[in-house]
Amino acid sequence: MALTTAAFDWVRTLVRKESAIVLEPGKEYLVESRLVPLARAAGATDVSAYVDGIRLRPDRRATTAIVEALTTNETSWFRDGAPFQAFSTSVVPALKQARAATRSLRIWSAASSTGQEAYSLAMGLKDGVVSEGWRAEIIGTDISSEVVEKAKAGRYSQLEMNRGLPAPLLVRHFTRVGTQWQVNDDLKRMVRFQQLNLTSSYAALGQFDVVFLRNVLIYFDLETKRDILSRVRKVIKPGGYMFLGGAETTLGVDDNWDRELIGRVSVHRPKNGGQA
Amino acid sequence: MRALVVDDSRAMRKIIAGALRKLGYETVEAADGAEALKVLGEGPLPDLATVDWNMPVMDGLTFVTQVRANREYRALTLMMVTTEAEHGQIVRALAAGAHEYLIKPFTVEALEEKLSLLGLLPEVSQA
Amino acid sequence: MTELIEDLEPDYVEDEALAQIVEQMWASYFAHVEFLLPSFEPHDIDGEILCASVTISGARPGIVTVSVEKGVASPLAAALLQEDDDALPAEDVYDALGEVANIVGGNIKALVPDAGPLGLPVVSTAKPLHGSSGRLAARLDANWRGQWLTFEVWLAGAGDTTPQNTGQEH
């Protein structure tokens, strides 16, 4: 049966409380489809029954799992659109000038999950600077080795392929393999994935022109956020950029960044050229 | 904004038109490519047309080709929404002039995101 | 004497692929109702059925069918249409079932090399006949609200005749 209003409201309140994300009325379909795997794993007959069961006896693991399922939207390509536009149309051209001597760019996707962000960046760079003979290297890291393995494989289901990927890029960069789609080798070669906890050292990663640190700081407390931001700043080359998630900011957390607006998109530049 | 939903399945027209209306669209429907051309010829030009591929009378690819051959319809964005899922079919559709391609089954989220790519989301949601 | 070696072509379509396709369809359009529960054993439906099918043309012609127990057809259609009332006009029920076959069939077709366009759905009260040399490439039996649905993919081998979809059209 479909989610009752009461059940939906309970979920909305939970998600808002734990993550500050607001699910408007009308998003019942989103809740239903996102909670399907959890409900199935729990042996419920449908999502409605699953949610009602947890409403009656809330437990921390279940409510956390629900919040995560509804707030992690990382399975989209070019998530939120505008940051990738800003990257391709403003940041990369600016870097092309700044790095004209080396003709090489390094990007870090610092919460790369199943790889869509990193491969999206690769697509932008491939059709941009790489075609002009530049070298571009993208490093994708995530705390979960499971998603890192999936990202390395570069194989996605049809449902995943429908999520925000422009059709012309799909046909250019992917090939069908059975019921799934596989990233082509020439794109895959641009990206390296590895497991990394953001609370650990970044020393082995090298220096980057751009860091994408989107929608992951939310999982850390203030002190840890500060620590992460200060260490991220140290791996950004002079004149480099950091992208945070749409609702995120360094304000009140770390004042060693300058903020610039590219259209509606905020980018952060290390103050003092990125040195300690 | 206005959308034309072209699909021979009433169920699928209902799903797509319903999702579009929730996003703020006014919708009109057609059950095949020929009917869709007729609808285009009659009312104000929609902003978007979602087009199934396999339909009787006139299929979606033919409809797309005809629309793109008509300068009066240049402002109409065409998105195939179809179960044809081969790489080659997507290439054909894009070559015929479709702007986007959504493979069935699709979630409403996926539809929204495609519309966002096209700049055709009546309400812009913040990240 | 050398024995005739059976067709050694790879299995383009397997049970696993069919199950994935059906699951993705269910997750996209039926997330608001009870789950479709796959069965590990085949379950032939007794009694009256409604069957929707689409044909695959090309080098490996075939047919993809979805057969449901008569009593589940209308609720299934209502679920797809997101309507509360289970008592839908027959036309809407056939249309909805046909679209289910269309979605599954199109995704199955993408697994078969050199396939032509998908046929339009045909709905009938009997499973369609398939060419005598067509073989069952994949099957999924699943239960929804206590009633059975069966998905089947029949594919001809190289050089076989096109399976005929001879069910009565509604």
Quick check: A157 contacting C, CB < 8 Å?
A: yes
Whether the CB-CB separation of C111 and C62 falls below 8 Å is answered with: no
CA distance C94 to chain B (A): 10
Tell me the two tokens of residue B95.
Answer: 């070559």
Taking alpha carbons only, the member of C141, C164, C145 closest to residue C67 is C141
| C-alpha of B107 from chain center | 15
What sign has the CA pseudo-torsion B110, B112, B113, B115?
positive
Whether residue C4 lies inside any domain: the answer is no
Chain A contacts of C34, Cβ < 8 Å?
Answer: 1, 45-46
Q: What is the pTM of this model?
A: 0.90
Quick check: B107 contacting C, CB < 8 Å?
A: yes
Instruction: Decide if pLDDT at C114 tops 70.
Output: yes
Q: How far is CA C140 from CA A58, C100, C104, C106, in A?
A: 36, 14, 12, 16
Chain A contacts of B94, Cβ < 8 Å?
Answer: 167-168, 171
* Mutation choice for B interface testing from C64, C102, C120 by most B CBs within 10 A: C102
Taking alpha carbons only, the member of A27, A168, A144 closest to residue A74 is A144
The minimal CB distance from B56 to the residues C102, C117, C120 is found for C120
N-term to C-term CA, chain B: 22
Summary mean pLDDT of chain C:
86
Task: Tell me the sheet residues that pair with A262.
Answer: A265
Q: What local confidence, expressed as pLDDT, does residue A22 receive? A: 83
CA distance A201 to chain B (A): 29
- Of A45-49, B26-30, B47-51, C156-160, least confident by mean pLDDT is C156-160
Give every CB contact of residue A210 below 8 A, 6+ residues apart in sequence: A87, A91, A95, A105, A107, A108, A236, A240, A241, A242, A243
Taking alpha carbons only, the member of C9, C30, C11, C39 closest to residue C151 is C39
Encode pLDDT of A196-220 as tens digits.
Answer: 999 999 999 999 999 999 989 988 8
E strand map for chain B: 2-6, 26-30, 48-51, 77-82, 100-103
Contact between B114 and A247 using a beta-carbon 8 Å cutoff: no
Whether residue C161 lies inside any domain: the answer is no
Looking at chain C, the whole-number percentage of residues with pLDDT higher than 70 is 84
Number of structural domains found in chain C: 1
H or E, element range at A212: strand A208-213
The whole-angstrom separation of Cα C53 and Cα C109 is 13
Whether the CB-CB separation of C65 and C57 falls below 8 Å is answered with: no
Whether residue C89 lies inside any domain: the answer is yes
Q: Which residue has the higher pLDDT, A18 or A161?
A: A161
Quick check: A47 contacting C, CB < 8 Å?
A: yes
Contact between A159 and C24 using a beta-carbon 8 Å cutoff: yes
Instruction: Decide if pLDDT at B39 tops 90.
Output: yes
Whether residue C121 lies inside any domain: the answer is yes
Chain B contacts of C82, Cβ < 8 Å?
Answer: 14-15, 18
Chain C contacts of B8, Cβ < 8 Å?
Answer: 120
Confidence of residue C156 (pLDDT cuts 50, 70, 90): confident
Give every CB contact of residue C106 below 8 A, 6+ residues apart in sequence: B54, B82, B83, B84, B85, B104, C54, C118
Whether residue C52 lies inside any domain: the answer is yes
Do the strands A174-177 and A180-183 form a parallel or antiparallel pair, or are they unpaired?
antiparallel
Q: What local confidence, expressed as pLDDT, does residue A276 receive? A: 43
The whole-angstrom separation of Cα C120 and Cα B55 is 7
Taking alpha carbons only, the member of A238, A169, A177, A164 closest to residue A208 is A238
Whether residue C38 lies inside any domain: the answer is no
Q: What's the whole-number mean pLDDT along residues A145-161?
A: 95
Instruction: Decide if pLDDT at B34 tops 80.
Output: yes
Neighbours of C91 (CB within 10 A): 11
Contact between C20 and A40 using a beta-carbon 8 Å cutoff: no
The whole-angstrom separation of Cα A66 and Cα A81 is 26
Q: How far is CA A186 from CA A76, A96, A124, A131, B52, in A?
A: 21, 21, 13, 12, 32
Domain residues for the domain of B76 are 1-45+52-85
Q: Kindly list the structural domains of chain A, giving each domain's residue range(s) and its CATH number in brackets, ordered by start.
A: 5-71 (1.10.155.10), 82-274 (3.40.50.150)
Domain residues for the domain of C70 are 15-28+47-155
Whether residue B41 lies inside any domain: the answer is yes
Neighbours of A50 (CB within 10 A): 23
Instruction: Decide if pLDDT at B28 tops 70.
Output: yes
Q: What local confidence, expressed as pLDDT, does residue A88 receive? A: 95
Residue type, A63: T
Q: How far is CA A77 from CA A55, A119, A156, A195, in A?
A: 33, 8, 11, 21
The minimal CB distance from A33 to the residues C20, C27, C110 is found for C27
Contact between B108 and A174 using a beta-carbon 8 Å cutoff: no
**Smallest CA–CA distance from C80 into chain B, residue:** B11
Number of structural domains found in chain B: 1
CA-based angle C140:C144:C145, to the nearest 5? Answer: 160
Instruction: Decide if pLDDT at A275 tops 60.
Output: no
Confidence of residue C67 (pLDDT cuts 50, 70, 90): very high
The whole-angstrom separation of Cα C27 and Cα C25 is 5
Whether residue B112 lies inside any domain: the answer is no
Contact between A179 and C111 using a beta-carbon 8 Å cutoff: yes
Write the CATH number for B63: 3.40.50.2300
E strand map for C19-134: 37-38, 49-58, 62-69, 115-118, 122-124
Whether residue C71 lies inside any domain: the answer is yes
Q: What local confidence, expressed as pLDDT, does residue B111 receive? A: 95
Residue found under tokens 């009870």: C34
Taking alpha carbons only, the member of B74, B77, B58 closest to residue B7 is B58
Instruction: Decide if pLDDT at C91 tops 50.
Output: yes
The minimal CB distance from C80 to the residues B11, B54, B104 is found for B11
Whether residue B17 lies inside any domain: the answer is yes
Chain A neighbours (≥3 Cβ pairs under 8 A) are: B, C
Neighbours of B87 (CB within 10 A): 14
Contact between C28 and B105 using a beta-carbon 8 Å cutoff: yes
What is the spatial order of strands in the sheet that A155-157 belongs to? A155-157, A180-183, A174-177
Whether residue B126 lies inside any domain: the answer is no
Confidence of residue A68 (pLDDT cuts 50, 70, 90): confident
Whether residue C74 lies inside any domain: the answer is yes
Give helix A28-41 / helix A5-19 axis angle, nearest 10°: 90
Residue found under tokens 């939207």: A73
* Mutation choice for B interface testing from A77, A78, A162, A249 by most B CBs within 10 A: A162
Write the CATH number for C119: 3.40.1550.10
Whether residue B64 lies inside any domain: the answer is yes
Q: What's the whole-number mean pLDDT along residues A57-71?
A: 88
